[in-house]
Structure 1
Amino acid sequence: MEKAEQELNSPLLQKRKDALQVIAEAYKNGVIEFGKNEEVNNHVHTMFSFSPYSPAGAVYGAKKAGLQAVGLMDHDSIAGGNEFLEAASLLGIGSTTGFEIRVSFKDTPFGDHRLNNPDSTGIAYMAVHGIPQKNFAKAQKFLSPVREARNNRNRAQVDKLNILMKEWGLSRIDFEKDVYGISQAAAGGSITERHILFAAAEKITATFGRGKKVAEFLKSAAKVELSDKAERHLSDPDNPHYLYDLLGTLKINVLPRFFIQPNEEECLPVKAVVDFALQIKGIPTYSYLGDVGESPTGDKKAQKFEDSYIEQLFPVLKELGFKAVTYMPPRNTKEQLSRVISLCGMYGLMQISGVDINSSRQSFSCPEVLQDMFKHLNDSTWALIAHEKLTQYRDDYSLLDGNNRFSQLPLEERIKKYSGFGRILDLHKPVPGKEILMEFTNG
């Protein structure tokens, strides 16, 4: 079983498929058992953007943590979607699929504001949740030029970083071998700044090993100010998350030195992406970040984002066609999220939660969603699952459709109805059974 667990995150698809079959068979026969809680997480990255986990590995990690549902959320790609759904079906866990993308707010009142993006003004992250499997190919085709534009910038960023690498006495990074080669770009995945930083982390450890020499190099040669926690992590040669912790430090301190701002080929107009999301029956979702103190992932510095103008932002989101807002309960204060929850209610926006998973140090678990003020987020997750499965069968069964039998219900009641369907789905099947379809159609 240990070998299967390791190969579940192999870069090779066939190895992952074989490992998944071994684990699924062991689960079916009672050889392995999983704990169970009511937690859900709708925002897990995989190796198709940046993560230590394959799509199947992410599903297994969520199942092992006792989660009832897990959501795929890769940057600029949904290429891992089919593998993700197959794994969820075999392991019997609720699943949702989508992608994350940066969009331009240039033609809105917030074109010069720092929204939810630490690196750029006028550019925001948004998610497209709940995409039915039949529309994966359309989504992937739509995102292909975005990935191409991003890789043009990635190559230029590596060139800039290599100037620093030379100054620091480190070997240069070869984009094709060290960056593209560790990604799933050949299979339709995206390449992000984290891939570049991971390549840099590998060059640093190849020169200095792991431990105090790396911390000393960062402070002396690279002129990095290490927090006490970062220095403690990087001084420990036995730290199992070493490369990811080093990546986080580089992201805060070194990325700004070689970062190149993306252009409009890479960050499409927000309205165009919202409209496309609706066309493929996805749910266009604004990703609330909020003013950040200490980052849970260790790769964001303290910084201010939307909080000072959030009351002005929400009506613009509504006008642009957003249907939901996603937020991360562990990241923000209850005061911040109380305001977001209130504004979502005021503007009729669905609320979706998820904890951004892209490092081995992070836990799949999100116990915060079990707190009273966040329990409605579980209903939203099961409503998303029902939306995705029902829309796979018929477009007008979408949670957002204006013509099905639940379309006139207030949003909160509609979510509860769909949540009820989601909770009784056979999670081992890709589409709802006949009895659920009849119940949905006739009541």
Structure 2
Amino acid sequence: MTPTTINDPLATPLERLDALRAHLATHPAFPGFVTESNNHVHTIYSFSPYTPAMAALRAREAGLTVVGSVDHDSAAGAAEMTAAAAAVGLGSVTGFECRVYVHPAVDVAEGRAPFHDRKLNNPDTAGIAYMTVQGIPASARDAVAEYLAPIREARLKRTAQMVDNANEILGRLGAELIDVERDIVGRSQFLHGGTVTERHLLAAMADKLIGRFGRGESLVAGLGELGLQLSDKVRAQLGDVDNPHLTFDLLGVMKAEFLDQIYVVPQRLEDGGECPTMAEVIAFAKSISAIPCYAYLGDVTASPTGDKKAEKFEDDFLDELVEFLGQIGMPAITYMPPRNTAEQMARIAELADRNGLLEVSGVDINTPRQVFNCPELQRPELAHLNDATWAMVAHEQLAEFSRGAEWDGRPLGLFDDGSPLAGLSLKDRVKRYSAVGRSLVQEGLPVPEAAARIAG
């Protein structure tokens, strides 16, 4: 195996892990650990330049202490991420991200849906929200795959509809048309449990546009025919004939400025679409001892990845929204410190505390220009986010252990109703679990002993 195998999407997970271990055997120089983590790394199982093994390696090269994979509608990379993180000496948290209708159709019909007509954290459609399910016990991964299978299938069908829309535009420009199987499924991990996303479509379209107009200033001029609004920074990137990230840069611009021209709104799961309700995903997550989280976006002024326009989202009604989340049983809220202002994060902290929600941090890594570091987590006022991360590291391992035959005690998930610590406040539970999480990874504490610490 060669080091390049670590990031080879055509290799098997076992081959990538073997290549990673062979690379580690050469004793590469790593920086010291910093007080940072990233719980929201996308991999090739949704859309990313990184395999799970490479994502774990990049996280270690950045000095992180914990890395977590969160793929869209898929947890197929979870096992590889867990093994790779352990190999490089990091804690890990695995999960998936999905879109949901906030309210059931019956509540909308009967006027009991206060957020149905409001844009939440989804730039494309009001009433639909992104949420994550994190800290998935290993033995629940098959159940997750089964739950997400119809969602993945429906999303592929909707993507094919959007390809038809995109091909109308490409045809008018004289560009090669997109073939769903070759250009989208073929560049994804769909056949291995992964998901096809809008980014796969936009990457395919970007490649067709580059093929039509060429690289450099001819591409920038050609994009004018699509009406894309390019900043000076983006214009310089797209005009660089030697840009190694051209496809990623172009798809980011198209996501922000063009996607609405080809977009097809996801339908409800009950209607053959890909979106369950928020309550349904919460119930499923809790049934497998995982942690469902609402993904707070907040009003956007400038997007660090260039794929979101300046726009208003939840902030005007955030108090009402977080109260609603607590009422329907959402135990956690996740957000991305580099995207939000200090004022936004302080407000989330206050509302989460008031409504009994865990705060979870992470930055969605899906382009090669992004860094894995999250230096905001070194700020004293955000220290509780590091504790929450370590608590989730412990949760994932202890929830798994308590599902096994070796354990005959009470369930050990952080939010399990029957947990030995269920009577403690959330802050006290997080304190106990975070200490155990650090010991599991940094001291090599055996999981049975960790379970005894929580149970005792």
Whether the aligned pair in 2 keeps the contact of 1:35 and 1:64 (CA below 8 Å) is: no
Which residue in the other structure is 2:36 paired with?
Answer: 39
Tell me by how many angstroms 1:28 deviates.
4.8
Which residue in the other structure is 2:237 paired with?
Answer: 233
Per-residue deviation, residues 347-404 of structure 1 (Å, max 9, x unmatched): 0100000011110110001000111121110000000000000011104011112333
Q: Tell me, in whole angstroms, the C-alpha distance in 1 between the residues paired with 2:155 and 2:212.
A: 29
Would you say 1:214 and 2:219 are equivalent positions?
yes
Q: Tell me, in whole angstroms, the C-alpha distance in 2 between the residues paired with 1:22 and 1:339.
A: 44
Whether the aligned pair in 2 keeps the contact of 1:89 and 1:427 (CA below 8 Å) is: no
Would you say 1:440 and 2:448 are equivalent positions?
no
Which residue in the other structure is 2:6 paired with?
Answer: 8
SS of the aligned residue for 2:170 comes to helix
Q: Tell me, in whole angstroms, the C-alpha distance in 2 between the residues paired with 1:31 and 1:374.
A: 31
Give the stretch that moved more between structures: 199-208 or 348-357. Answer: 199-208
Whether the aligned pair in 2 keeps the contact of 1:369 and 1:377 (CA below 8 Å) is: yes
Per-residue deviation, residues 396-439 of structure 1 (Å, max 9, x unmatched): 0111123333221111111010000000104798x943332332
- Out of 174, 180, 189, the position equivalent to 1:175 is 180
Per-residue deviation, residues 307-343 of structure 1 (Å, max 9, x unmatched): 0001111111111110000011110111111111100
Q: Tell me, in whole angstroms, the C-alpha distance in 2 between the residues paired with 1:120 and 1:211.
A: 34
Per-residue deviation, residues 236-275 of structure 1 (Å, max 9, x unmatched): 1222221111011111222111101110021111111111
SS of the aligned residue for 2:136 comes to coil
Whether the aligned pair in 2 keeps the contact of 1:284 and 1:322 (CA below 8 Å) is: yes
Q: Tell me, in whole angstroms, the C-alpha distance in 2 between the residues paired with 1:433 and 1:133.
A: 14
Normalised TM-score (structure 1): 0.95
Structure 2 counterparts to residues 125-204 of structure 1, below 5 A: 125-204=130-209
Which residue in the other structure is 1:419 paired with?
Answer: 434
Whether the aligned pair in 1 keeps the contact of 2:203 and 2:247 (CA below 8 Å) is: yes
Q: Tell me, in whole angstroms, the C-alpha distance in 1 between the residues paired with 2:25 and 2:343.
A: 44
Normalised TM-score (structure 2): 0.93
Tell me by how many angstroms 1:209 deviates.
2.6
SS of the aligned residue for 1:96 comes to strand
- Out of 60, 71, 75, the position equivalent to 1:74 is 71
Whether the aligned pair in 2 keeps the contact of 1:91 and 1:428 (CA below 8 Å) is: no
Whether the aligned pair in 1 keeps the contact of 2:388 and 2:430 (CA below 8 Å) is: yes
Structure 2 counterparts to residues 229-268 of structure 1, below 5 A: 229-265=233-269, 266-268=274-276
Would you say 1:291 and 2:299 are equivalent positions?
yes
Give the stretch that moved more between structures: 230-239 or 380-389. Answer: 230-239
Q: CA RMSD in A?
A: 1.7
Letter in 1 for 2:185: Y
Letter in 1 for 2:188: S
Whether the aligned pair in 1 keeps the contact of 2:30 and 2:60 (CA below 8 Å) is: no
Which residue in the other structure is 1:86 paired with?
Answer: 83
Identity %: 44
Q: Tell me, in whole angstroms, the C-alpha distance in 2 between the residues paired with 1:141 and 1:34.
A: 40
Aligned residues: 437
Per-residue deviation, residues 96-132 of structure 1 (Å, max 9, x unmatched): 0010000002333101110000001000000111111
Query: What runs of 5+ residues in structure 1 fail to find an aligned partner?
Result: none
